[in-house]
C-alpha cells in the first residue's frame, strides 16, 4: 500500500536525506538517546516491536542488536530514506522488515505489537496527524502493550528555551515544545503516560515518554 499523504522528509530538505545520519550525529548524542529509549522499553525476546517513522533504521538496528530474538519492523512514509535503511539492514546481516506506510494509517491488525518505539518522528506530524498516529499506535498495540517516544520536549534550561524560539517555527514542533505530547497520548486512550527524562542538547530539550495501553 503506497502512502498518499504529504510529509516532511527526515532532514526537512530532500537534498539533505543522504546526509541524515551524519548531521544527526553532529547535532545530537543520537546513539546514547536511542539506547536509553530501548532500555526504557524493556523489550523481551518474544516481543514484536514497531519502529514508527524509522528513517534510516538506526533505532531498529540498535533494537535488533540488543534483542536479537525480538521481531522488529520499521515503517516510514519516505521511499528515499527507506533505500538507505534497507542498505544498512542488509549490511548488518539482520532481519528487519521495512514497510513504506504512513503513521496515520498503519497496515497492521489490531493488537499486533508488544512495543511501539518512535524517535524524532512525532515532530514531523501535524497536530491532527499526531493525534491520528497516536490512535493508530493504540490500535496496533496489544492490551498492556507500550509506546516509548524520544523527541523534542518542553524546554527545561535557559539555553533550550532560547533554541525553542527558533525551533517552534520549524517542522511541526509547537506541541512538542509546549509539552503537549503526553496529553495527546492520553487522549488516544493511553494510561500511565509519563515524561521519563529530559536532556539538554545543542538542538534543545530532548525528552523521552512512556505510555501503556490498558490491559
Ligand atoms: C527526523 S526523522 C527520524 C528518523 C528516525 N526515527 C531516527 O530517529 O533516526 C523523521 C522520520 O519521520 C518520517 N515521517 C514523516 N512523516 C511521516 C508519516 N506521516 N508517516 C511515517 N513516517 C513519517 C520521515 O520520513 C523521517 O524518516
The CATH number of whichever domain residue 87 belongs to comes to 3.40.50.150
The domain of 163 spans: 14-212
Is the per-residue pLDDT at 2 higher than 70?
Answer: no
* 7 falls within a domain: no
Q: How far apart are CA 125 and CA 84, in angstroms?
A: 21
* 62 falls within a domain: yes
Strand bridging mode 191-201 / 97-100: unpaired
Q: What is the pLDDT of residues 117-149, one digit of tens each?
A: 999 999 999 999 999 999 999 999 999 999 999
* 27 falls within a domain: yes
Atom of ligand 1 nearest to the CA of 51: 6
Residue 186, classified by CB atoms within 10 Å of its CB into exposed (0-12), middle (13-18) or buried (19+), is middle
Q: Which pLDDT score, from 0 to 100, does residue 61 have?
A: 98
Handedness of CA 74, 78, 10, 193 (dihedral sign): negative
* 175 falls within a domain: yes
* 2 falls within a domain: no
Q: Which residues line ligand 1 at a C-beta cut-off of 6 Å?
A: 5, 7-10, 53-56, 58-59, 76-78, 81, 102-104, 119-121, 124-125
Domain count across the chain: 1
- Of 59, 77, 130, 151, which is best to mutate to test ligand 1, by the most ligand atoms within 8 angstroms of its C-beta? 77
Q: How far is the CA of 14 from the centre of ligand 1 (A)?
A: 13
Residue pair 94/28 in contact (Cβ under 8 Å)? The answer is no
Cell of 13: 530538505
* 21 falls within a domain: yes
Q: What is the pLDDT of residues 73-106, one digit of tens each?
A: 999 999 999 999 999 999 999 999 999 999 999 9
* 153 falls within a domain: yes
Contacts of 155 (CB under 8 A, 6+ apart): 161, 163, 164, 177, 204, 205
Residue range 20-37: mean pLDDT, rounded: 92
Q: Which pLDDT score, from 0 to 100, does residue 72 have?
A: 98
Is the per-residue pLDDT at 47 higher than 90?
Answer: yes
Q: How far apart are CA 188 and CA 186, in angstroms?
A: 5
Q: What is the pLDDT of residues 162-189, one digit of tens each?
A: 998 888 877 788 999 999 999 999 999 9
Amino acid at each position: 500500500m503506497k502512502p498518499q499523504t504529504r510529509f516532511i522528509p527526515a532532514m526537512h530538505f530532500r537534498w539533505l536525506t543522504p546526509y541524515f545520519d551524519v548531521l544527526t550525529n553532529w547535532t545530537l548524542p543520537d546513539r546514547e538517546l536511542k539506547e536509553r529509549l530501548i532500555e526504557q522499553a524493556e523489550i523481551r525476546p518474544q516481543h514484536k516491536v514497531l519502529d514508527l517513522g524509522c528513517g534510516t533504521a538506526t533505532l531498529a538496528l540498535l533494537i535488533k542488536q540488543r534483542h536479537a530474538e525480538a521481531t522488529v519492523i520499521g515503517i516510514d512514509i519516505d521511499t528515499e530514506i527507506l533505500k538507505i535503511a534497507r542498505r544498512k539492514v542488509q549490511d548488518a546481516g539482520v532481519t528487519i522488515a521495512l514497510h513504506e506506510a504512513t503513521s496515520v494509517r498503519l497496515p497492521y491488525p489490531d493488537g499486533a505489537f508488544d512495543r511501539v518505539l518512535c524517535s524524532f518522528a512525532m515532530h514531523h506530524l501535524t497536530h491532527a496527524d499526531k493525534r491520528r498516529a497516536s490512535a493508530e499506535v493504540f490500535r496496533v498495540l496489544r492490551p498492556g502493550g507500550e509506546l516509548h517516544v524520544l523527541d523534542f520536549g518542553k524546554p527545561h534550561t535557559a539555553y533550550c528555551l532560547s533554541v525553542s524560539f527558533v525551533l517552534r517555527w520549524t517542522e511541526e514542533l509547537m506541541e512538542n515544545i509546549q509539552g503537549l505530547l503526553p496529553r495527546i497520548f492520553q487522549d488516544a486512550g493511553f494510561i500511565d503516560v509519563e515524561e521519563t527524562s529530559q536532556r539538554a542538547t545543542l538542538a534543545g530539550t530532548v525528552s523521552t515518554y512512556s505510555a501503556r495501553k490498558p490491559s
